[in-house]
């Protein structure tokens, strides 16, 4: 399947999913395939992340605010550089920050967070398409263990279960942009070129509403 066979009006595609869903892998592969600019979340720069997974309640607010400001700064840099003239594939969307906030923050922390995010999100451009990689918890945990990141070693299955439920709740009600929900449990877009090509073709189809892609049925 040749690159020239693909055409799309999308200039900014955001790949989303729970930790371990394959967001960054798909972003990098799709960016290379389409000669687009990859934009990757700078999670390793968060100095609170290691402590967060060991003590979520104590370090949730610091971790959350660092991520919020880091994501905002990155989005502003893209806008100022006028990068949106070139196609962008990102491995996160700014709005997803709220998923973690509502899952992890206490009520008083959440009120402060909401006052801050309401000011920031007004100047962040929305992607033209969001792709949500939906996975079951066992799949997510297997991928997390396989890649072996030091700061993820203490992530519990219970935390991923809660996060997965929060993501599903968010995206089943998401209406801000066109959305493609992908059943990622039965697809290997990293190692299987046929799987990747079919998924890429599905992603680049024009759409204005939420749609579901189940590769088992294709």
First to last CA, the chain: 17
**CA proximity to 8, closest of 204, 212, 217, 215:** 204
Angle between helices 97-104 and 56-80 (to 10 degrees): 160
Choose the catalytic residue: 54, 91, 107, 192. 91
Name the phi and psi angles at 133, rounded to 5.
Answer: -85, 105
Angle between helices 56-80 and 107-120 (to 10 degrees): 0
Instruction: Give the integer Cα–Cα distance in Å for 23 and 114.
Output: 26
Instruction: Give the integer Cα–Cα distance in Å for 14 and 128.
Output: 8
Does the annotation mark 195 as catalytic?
no
Name the phi and psi angles at 56, rounded to 5.
Answer: -60, -45
Catalogue the active-site residues. 91
């Amino acid at each position: 399947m040749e690159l020239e066979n693909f055409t799309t009006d999308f200039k900014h595609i955001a790949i989303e999913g729970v930790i371990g869903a394959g967001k960054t892998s798909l972003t990098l592969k799709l960016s290379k395939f389409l000669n687009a600019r990859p934009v990757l979340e700078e999670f390793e720069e968060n100095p609170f992340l290691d402590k967060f997974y060991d003590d979520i309640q104590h370090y949730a607010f610091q971790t959350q605010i660092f991520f919020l400001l880091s994501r905002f700064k990155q989005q502003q840099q893209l806008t100022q550089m006028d990068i949106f003239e070139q196609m962008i594939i990102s491995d996160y969307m700014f709005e997803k920050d709220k998923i973690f906030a509502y899952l992890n923050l206490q009520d008083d922390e959440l009120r402060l967070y909401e006052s801050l995010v309401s000011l920031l999100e007004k100047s962040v451009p929305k992607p033209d398409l969001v792709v949500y990689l939906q996975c079951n918890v066992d799949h997510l945990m297997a991928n997390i263990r396989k890649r072996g990141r030091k700061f993820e070693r203490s992530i519990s299955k219970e935390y991923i279960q809660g996060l997965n439920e929060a993501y599903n709740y968010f995206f089943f009600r998401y209406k801000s942009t066109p959305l493609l929900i992908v059943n990622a449990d039965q697809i290997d877009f990293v190692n299987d070129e046929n799987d990747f090509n079919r998924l890429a073709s599905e992603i680049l189809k024009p759409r204005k509403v939420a749609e579901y892609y189940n590769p088992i049925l294709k």
